[in-house]
Amino acid sequence: MDLTRSPLARPFPDMPPVEGVTMRVARARYKNWDRADLTYAELAEGTTLAGVFTQNVCCSTEVEMGREQVKLGRARALIVNAGNSNAFTGYRGRDAVEQIMAQVAHHLECAPSDVLVSSTGVIGVPLPKDKAQEGVAAALHAEPCSWEDATSAIGTTDTFTKGAASAAMIGETRVVLNGIIKGSGMIAPDMATMLGYIFTDAAVEPAFLQQCLSGANARTYNCITVDSDTSTSDTVLAFATGKAGNVPLSSFDDPGADAFMAALEDVCRSLAQLVVRDGEGASKFIAVNVSGAANDDSARRVGLAIANSPLVKTAIAGGDANWGRVVMAVGKAGEPADRDKLGIAFGGTWAARDGLPVADYDEAPVAKHLEGQEIDITVELGIGEGRATVWTCDLTHGYISINADYRS
Amino acid sequence: MDLTRSPLARPFPDMPPVEGVTMRVARARYKNWDRADLTYAELAEGTTLAGVFTQNVCCSTEVEMGREQVKLGRARALIVNAGNSNAFTGYRGRDAVEQIMAQVAHHLECAPSDVLVSSTGVIGVPLPKDKAQEGVAAALHAEPCSWEDATSAIGTTDTFTKGAASAAMIGETRVVLNGIIKGSGMIAPDMATMLGYIFTDAAVEPAFLQQCLSGANARTYNCITVDSDTSTSDTVLAFATGKAGNVPLSSFDDPGADAFMAALEDVCRSLAQLVVRDGEGASKFIAVNVSGAANDDSARRVGLAIANSPLVKTAIAGGDANWGRVVMAVGKAGEPADRDKLGIAFGGTWAARDGLPVADYDEAPVAKHLEGQEIDITVELGIGEGRATVWTCDLTHGYISINADYRS
């Protein structure tokens, strides 16, 4: 299948080196293709680890093992396999993961549990152990590569490479954060999403790194959706090598902790939005701003009900300010709402307020706004102080073409 | 917009007269069209009433008033407006409904609360009172029409007329049940769906009629979905004129009550399936059979997660036996499941059992099955005795064309 680059794509950013992180790629040829599809990140001794994972009950071995490894809070390596998710493959899938962990651990002289493994691609086919072994062997001795090459190697149906970088001052020490991510379909994160990795040279205690990542996750990855389908492999990992030499962060009381958290959330939000920008068939990027909800969580659920509505998404695709469909989606969310207090705006122009169409509603600026690629929908529920922003894309013929033609 | 007849359409059935029911139609011209769009059902004195309605919080005035009228349990007339849903129209929408009730009540010399009103179409435009008044006046004095003409008049984006008939013996008395329904998009019922009406000449106490309708609803209307979007106007009403002269049914202990319930559920299931067969853009009718769940309700939710998955629906559209997407949908449902006990079959051929791909899985019969118009997906969860069947359609370019082009 030829995938054309998303019209909403963003260029890959300049990303600085992160001390203690070396990226390498190799060709394991998990599919019948000639491209790097195995990524190896070597991490300095002392690297701490945090992670968030899919809540899908039918998750992959990699997710199950990753959950246990995050409890230990340390990492020396990451292997990402692209083209085969190894999900729903039972004991054979687990064998393949354990083989990879042992192979890398032997090379680095570390514990197998220090080796994180992720896989993405077709469900139900055990990861071939022979290809994995040869691919890992090649990656262990490959020349270091660029961040963009590594990002390209973790991709599957992605139409562009997605990265984000940020920095923060911790005391007198400047730390950097680099994030890379893949994903474009089966996107409706539930505690985590897709495959995303954040690398920082900051020194951060694992428990606090987990606290920061979980917090950022709630306001970024858990606030995006492409198609309401939650993957079996969703994983976001954060690695902190500590090579920047700052006093290790262990709580929000530490100087620089707020700056680090802000930088981390910035990277997470950028990565999450980039996934939406590569949503299968997407032609428009949609921000759904919900305010006046009973609480923030309720606002997020109302936002997701709107963002997941096929009727809202197709209306936006057609440039139609069909606010009746937004009313419908608010009403079906199952959250506290009052029809007679509801307000809806597109691009800052109110179409309805206080439960009634606006009397002198001028559709011209709304029509103009909907012609663009960046769409804002604002919903005011009028019953409380809760607010959230959810990001999604429109639903187009492109989504159908990609997913009705893609063969398992 | 030209809508071509669904390839899954069924012919309108032969429907007998129902004593005590007279159907008439008129042209209110709620939209700029030349077709009957106002339907009037006149009901004999003594007719009992039951109803189920949308759970959408932003429901229409018609739904709010219908809920109150159902508590009274009696009806003398039904008016259905097509082309304007009158939803999200505040006090002006309510004025229009009250005017219609008063006008019909004056004609029949009954209480306004005996006149049920439904409206379907665009959201956010108050039903025009002048057109409603003229339309009702014309309908009150129109010649009686056929069941199919009445069904045609309640439709909006429907591509075929949908009806179902059944009969039952209550003691020595044969009673008939005729059902008609409209709907093809914004279909994800939550206690009720779309606009559907069932007319019977049986004598049934209103509380028992409600018990029967609610029970049938749980296994029929609440088990279908087209696009996961729940309408603001969903309504199914049942009217029992009592003209058959049977001893009135008041509980399942009464002779013939089980037969009546079976006939009612049969009509409801047929009508619900017909709505799926007219799902926007549908090319395949899909039955999702879930067994081995913790309980029946859990099975239904797993079935709906599969039936609402865009990735499953597009796979079926493409004739792809992509059971990995079914695994994903089972896992995201949030219901009790065990990945390692899961089995999935298409058209009776198991692709996966006990959490593993079937070793000698032969895709040939599955590929053949998926070429057809009637698709069966079976999911065995292996953890309990709960079961349910959910019906849906595939997701095609047709859905996008209809909904990205339809202007509000």
How large is the average pLDDT for residues B144-150?
97
pLDDT at A225: 83
Residue of A nearest to B340 (CA): A90
Instruction: Please report residues of B whose CB lies closer than 8 A to that of A330.
Output: 57-58
pLDDT at B188: 64
To the question of whether residue A193 is assigned a binding role by annotation, the answer is: yes
Give the active site residues of B.
193
pLDDT at A231: 75
pLDDT at A191: 38
pLDDT at B35: 96
pLDDT at A188: 63
Shortest CA gap A345–chain B (Å)? 14
User: Percent of chain A beyond pLDDT 70?
Assistant: 97
SS3 B185: coil
Q: Is A210 on the interface with B (CB under 8 A)?
A: no
The beta strand positions in B27-75, using DSSP E, are: 38-43, 48-53
Instruction: Please report residues of A whose CB lies closer than 8 A to that of B227.
Output: 310-311
Shortest CA gap A327–chain B (Å)? 7
Beta bridge partners of A116: A78
Contact yes or no for B315 and A342 at CB 8 A:
no
Query: Which of A68, A64, A82, A307 shows the shortest CA–CA distance to A189?
Result: A307
pLDDT at B235: 84
How large is the average pLDDT for residues A359-376?
93
Q: Is B216 on the interface with A (CB under 8 A)?
A: no
Q: Name the residue facing A337 among B57, B125, B186 (closest C-beta).
A: B57
CB A395 within 8 A of CB A310: yes
| Band (B2; pLDDT cuts 50, 70, 90) | low
Q: Is B321 on the interface with A (CB under 8 A)?
A: yes
Residue of A nearest to B59 (CA): A331
Instruction: Please report residues of A whose CB lies closer than 8 A to that of B395.
Output: 400, 404
Does residue B378 carry a pLDDT above 70?
A: yes
pLDDT digits (tens, 9 = 90+) for B51-86: 988 888 888 899 999 999 999 999 999 999 999 988
Q: Name the residue facing A332 among B229, B340, B342 (closest C-beta).
A: B229
pLDDT at A133: 98
| Band (A287; pLDDT cuts 50, 70, 90) | very high
Domains and CATH numbers, chain A: 21-277 (3.60.70.12), 285-405 (3.10.20.340)
Instruction: Please report residues of A whose CB lies closer than 8 A to that of B337.
Output: 57-58
Catalytic one of A39, A54, A193, A241: A193
Chain B from 13 to 72: CB within 8 A of any A CB:
55-59
pLDDT digits (tens, 9 = 90+) for B273-309: 988 898 888 999 999 999 999 999 999 999 999 999 9
Instruction: Please report residues of A whose CB lies closer than 8 A to that of B95.
Output: none
Report which residue type is found at A227. D
Write down the ipTM of this complex. 0.83
| Band (A104; pLDDT cuts 50, 70, 90) | very high
Q: Mean pLDDT over all residues of chain A?
A: 91
Distance of CA B281 to the CA centre of its chain: 18
Contact yes or no for B352 and A88 at CB 8 A:
yes
Residue A305, CA atoms < 13 Å, CB-side half-sphere: 25
CB B48 within 8 A of CB B183: no
| Band (A408; pLDDT cuts 50, 70, 90) | very low
Query: Which of B76, B81, B2 shows the shortest CA–CA distance to B43?
Result: B76
Residue B300's alpha-carbon distances to A270, A296, B11, B315, in angstroms, are: 37, 30, 29, 21
Contacts of A69 (CB under 8 A, 6+ apart): A49, A51, A75, A113, A114, A116
Alpha helices by DSSP H, listed for B141-231, are 147-154, 206-219
| Band (B408; pLDDT cuts 50, 70, 90) | very low
Report which residue type is found at A212. C
How large is the average pLDDT for residues A343-356?
93
Does residue A124 carry a pLDDT above 90?
A: no
pLDDT digits (tens, 9 = 90+) for B208-262: 999 999 999 888 888 888 887 777 778 888 999 999 999 999 999 999 999 999 9
| Band (B406; pLDDT cuts 50, 70, 90) | low
Using only C-alpha atoms, chain A has a radius of gyration, in whole angstroms, of 22
pLDDT at B234: 80
Shortest CA gap A90–chain B (Å)? 6
Q: How far apart are CA A297 and CA A301, in angstroms?
A: 6
Contacts of A35 (CB under 8 A, 6+ apart): A27, A152, A153
Residue of B nearest to A233 (CA): B328
Q: Is B282 on the interface with A (CB under 8 A)?
A: no
Q: Provide the phi-psi class of B131: left if phi over 0, else alpha when psi is between -120 and 50, else beta.
A: alpha
Contact yes or no for A331 and B190 at CB 8 A:
no
pLDDT digits (tens, 9 = 90+) for A328-347: 899 889 899 998 899 999 99
Residue of A nearest to B305 (CA): A229
How large is the average pLDDT for residues A371-384?
96
- B222: DSSP letter: G
Distance of CA B374 to the CA centre of its chain: 19
Beta bridge partners of A163: A180
Tally the residues of chain A: 408
pLDDT at A106: 98
To the question of whether residue A182 is assigned a binding role by annotation, the answer is: yes
Q: Is A321 on the interface with B (CB under 8 A)?
A: yes
What number of other Cβ atoms are within 10 A of residue B207's Cβ? 13
Instruction: Select the residue from A400, A406, A407 to test the B interface by mutation, using most B Cβ atoms within 10 A.
Output: A400
Residue A54's alpha-carbon distances to A214, A375, B146, B202, B394, in angstroms, are: 12, 28, 55, 53, 26
Instruction: Select the residue from B226, B230, B332 to test the A interface by mutation, using most A Cβ atoms within 10 A.
Output: B332
Instruction: Please report residues of B whose CB lies closer than 8 A to that of A401.
Output: 397
Q: Name the residue facing B339 among A57, A190, A308 (closest C-beta).
A: A57
Does residue A132 carry a pLDDT above 80?
A: yes
Instruction: Select the residue from A339, A394, A397 to test the B interface by mutation, using most B Cβ atoms within 10 A.
Output: A339
For chains A and B, CB pairs below 8 A equal: 218
Query: Which of A295, A387, A288 shows the shortest CA–CA distance to A344?
Result: A288
Chain A from 177 to 196: CB within 8 A of any B CB:
185-186, 188, 190
Contact yes or no for A58 and B331 at CB 8 A:
yes
pLDDT digits (tens, 9 = 90+) for B183-213: 877 766 553 447 888 999 999 999 999 999 9
Q: How far apart are CA A277 and CA A285, in angstroms?
A: 6
| Helix pair angle (B90-108, B129-140), 10° resolution | 20
Residue A235, both tokens? 């994983």
pLDDT at A192: 39
Query: Which of B306, B326, B309 shows the shortest CA–CA distance to B366?
Result: B326
Contact yes or no for B318 and A356 at CB 8 A:
no
Strands B386-393, B224-225: pairing is: parallel
CB B239 within 8 A of CB B200: yes
Q: How far apart are CA B345 and CA B377, in angstroms?
A: 6
Q: Is A1 on the interface with B (CB under 8 A)?
A: no
Q: Is B119 on the interface with A (CB under 8 A)?
A: no
Q: Mean pLDDT over all residues of chain B?
A: 91
SS3 A314: helix
